[in-house]
Amino acid sequence: METFRTLLAKAALGNGISSTAYDTAWVAKLGQLDDELSDLALNWLCERQLPDGSWGAEFPFCYEDRLLSTLAAMISLTSNKHRRRRAAQVEKGLLALKNLTSGAFEGPQLDIKDATVGFELIAPTLMAEAARLGLAICHEESILGELVGVREQKLRKLGGSKINKHITAAFSVELAGQDGVGMLDVDNLQETNGSVKYSPSASAYFALHVKPGDKRALAYISSIIQAGDGGAPAFYQAEIFEIVWSLWNLSRTDIDLSDPEIVRTYLPYLDHVEQHWVRGRGVGWTGNSTLEDCDTTSVAYDVLSKFGRSPDIGAVLQFEDADWFRTYFHEVGPSISTNVHVLGALKQAGYDKCHPRVRKVLEFIRSSKEPGRFCWRDKWHRSAYYTTAHLICAASNYDDALCSDAVGGFLIRRGPMARGDFSTAKRLRKRQHIAFKLWRIGRGTAAHPCRRRSVARVGGYRNTANRHTRRCGLPRHFTARRR
């Protein structure tokens, strides 16, 4: 229990998200405003350039992450006064950028339908800035050339409204570029802590181009960089998000939640979530957020209900659309994992499997699975195993056939992922164990325990631990924040 007490205390800080090359590159551009911040960020970038000259998570490979991170890093390096001192990094980066944008690029290619969230908003702006700096970008004949149209489609969703802190596009406010400040509601962008949507990159853009030298934005960024190793995370802070997911996992263990010691441990954190729940609106990633989302709201509803509180299901239902539930308003494409978590909330609210809302979500999930696959890929998560493990938890007793197919697929297809990235595999194995256990209980087979050892014994899992234990940064555009 001491471990969980420590975990909850860390979650309440809301600073558990890893630094990313993309966000750090934006901080590195602040040299004209704060040399110290810029130097710390530049050092972080140069120390983490990958062997092929690119930036981003080394594994698993994600084209969008590599391209955006490399573009942002190269723009920072080539427009910075330290360019000559970083000549070696610049030369390697130029080669990597050429390879990534070339039509002859070999490797996992971009599929706009499966692109990480926010990519279509940011990539065109970064490519235009890179071109102004003389960086070679070969995109006209590749799928990258389609992004401008996709970006315009997303912006049309705004209906002419200017981007402010109540609109999801503010997460990626840097999409406006140096010449597009006119599309922003300048006086209604910042949060109470000086940030723009609690994003270091959006806040750095604000301090550079929207309100140059803004002291509140710079103070927010400085508090992150000075407290860490020079890197900037995708979000800071996200304590509601971290607390509800910690409690969600706690609620699915064998721990007696009525034990007085256990209650004393989780009670302050549960109170924090309940205090920030807004009737009819739910919660966002952090307690002071001005923008709620369906995903966090659904999980928070599930958690608060399980722990004896009384949130209103109307906060979840506000996101209902004709054929699915939206994560945010103005969303271009639906999220499978968000709808999975809605299913969990509906189950907790007492909806039976014949209810139209339950049937709607299940039909959307069924129709979203690609032919020949046992799992579901989602725009918020690079791992299809994550979404599928959560589906097993939520759909048990709603659609057991759907769960059975997913469980069968898990038992025979996890080896390659485990060999590729041990730490990711280990985290997902824990989620799968929870999912398998709940599925067995739902089917009345709990007397035959699903052991962790049997879940782990796949594809030489243990033998690869020393060679493949890596902590991959969580790229900004991997996370639930854009559409």
Instruction: Establish if 336 belongs to a structural domain.
Output: no
Radius of gyration for the chain, computed over Cα atoms and rounded to the nearest angstrom = 22
In a domain, 376, yes or no: yes
> How many distinct structural domains can be found in the chain?
2
Whether 306 is in a domain gets the answer no
Pairing of strands 19-20, 232-233: antiparallel
Give the residue from 233, 249, 269 where a domain finishes. Answer: 233
111 within a domain of the structure (yes/no):
yes
Q: Mark which of 199, 233, 267 sits at the end of a domain.
A: 233
The pLDDT of residue 92 is: 94
pLDDT, residue 12, reads: 87
233: DSSP letter? E
Give the structural domain span for 456.
366-483
Q: Confirm if 67 and 108 have CB atoms less than 8 A apart.
A: no
pLDDT of residue 407: 85
Extract the tokens encoding 414.
């996890």
Question: Is the Cβ–Cβ distance between 387 and 365 less than 8 Å?
Answer: no
Q: Which amino acid is at 424?
A: T
Provide the pLDDT for residue 103.
59
The rounded average pLDDT for each run of 10 residues, N- to C-terminus, in the chain (483 residues) is: 81 87 96 93 95 90 90 89 78 90 56 66 88 74 66 77 90 91 95 95 97 97 92 92 94 88 93 97 92 97 97 98 93 90 98 98 94 83 84 92 83 55 51 55 47 35 29 34 36
Q: The tokens of 475 are what?
A: 């790229």
- Which among 200, 233, 266 is the end of a domain? 233
